[in-house]
Each structure stands twice: as C-alpha cells, then as structure tokens.
Amino acid sequence: MRQVGRGDTRAFEELIQKHQALVAGTVARMLGSNSDVEDIAQQVFIRVWKSARRYVPRAKFTTWLLKITRNLVFNELRRTKRHAHVPLQSEPGAEDPPLKDEMNLAPDASLLELELQRTIEEAILQLPETQRLALVLRRYEQLSYEQIAEILDLSVPAVKSVLFRARSELRSRLSKYLT
C-alpha cells in the first residue's frame, strides 16, 4: 500500500490481482447478481486507489479492504431496495443453461442438489445485510470473529450473536431440507 500511495500502478495491479477474488466473491454472495459484481468490485479498488495516500495500517489490509467492500455493498443494497429491479432468478418455465455435472450424480440427485443450492442462496439473500455479510465472511472467506467484528464495527460477542441469528434463520428457512 505504501507503493500504491506513491502512485505505483504496478503495485496497484498486483494488489488487485491478489485480492480481486476475495472482493468479487464477497460482493457476489451479498448481491446474488452477476451483473453488479464487477462494477462494485471495480468501485472498491477505485476507492483503494483514491485512499492510498491516506491509508494507515491499523489492522490487516484485507480488513480495511472488506470495510470498503461492505460500505459499497450496503449502499448498493439500499439503492436497489428503492428502485424496482428485475428478479435474479429466471422465470418458471424459462430454459436454464445446462449444468456441468462434476460429481456424476444421478439425474434425480443432481436436480435435488441444484434445488438445494438455489434454496440456500435464496435464503442467504433474504437475511438482513449485517447477518448476510457476517455469514459470508465467516463461512466463505473463513475470517475470524475478530476480523469480522472489525469489518462490521461490532464487538466479538455481537458478531457471534449476529451469526447465531443468521444461522437460526437459515435453519428455519431450510428446515424441510434438514431432515
């Protein structure tokens, strides 16, 4: 970041390459929309570039990066709530693209697996913003409670509580699959 702060574009490119998957993955799991993921991820790195001179390493760089990501994702979620939007899922009866069956599941098992995955994704998208981000950061990015607390500006016990509520809500919504 010191090099980026001095205007080193090569260092900035390396930083993007190193952290792009983390940012894009977090944004994708939060928004559930492939169309906005690249735009939001790009905005994150634009903010990093613009803030590079003022950056002070108080915590891990990824924590600071994910705070920027959190702010932009939450702004996007608020913006889309105010405006009508097209459903993320295809309409019933619409042709879905063929899926690659990497696990060689039987057709019935493959359909059940696909249905379960879609149901889980929908349930996660229905969680409140903070619960959703805490869950994404813990489950998919494997961040510690301490890192999540710093990103969300919460205490560690508050993060544990948020995650407990998120998991309870998911368990409730997915109960018919958890038999």
Distance in angstroms (rounded) separating the CA atoms of residues 14 and 149: 27
Q: CATH code for 107-177?
A: 1.10.10.10
Q: In terms of pLDDT, which residue wins out, 31 or 177?
A: 31
Q: What is the pLDDT of residues 41-96, one digit of tens each?
A: 999 999 999 999 998 888 889 999 999 999 999 998 888 776 544 444 444 444 44
Contact by Cβ (8 Å): 47, 72: yes
- DSSP state at residue 58: S
pTM, full prediction: 0.72
- Residue 30 and residue 136: Cα distance in Å, rounded? 7
- Select from 1.10.3210.10, 1.10.1660.10, 1.10.1740.10, 3.40.960.10 the CATH code of 2-82: 1.10.1740.10
Return the number of other C-beta atoms located less than 10 Å from residue 3's C-beta: 14
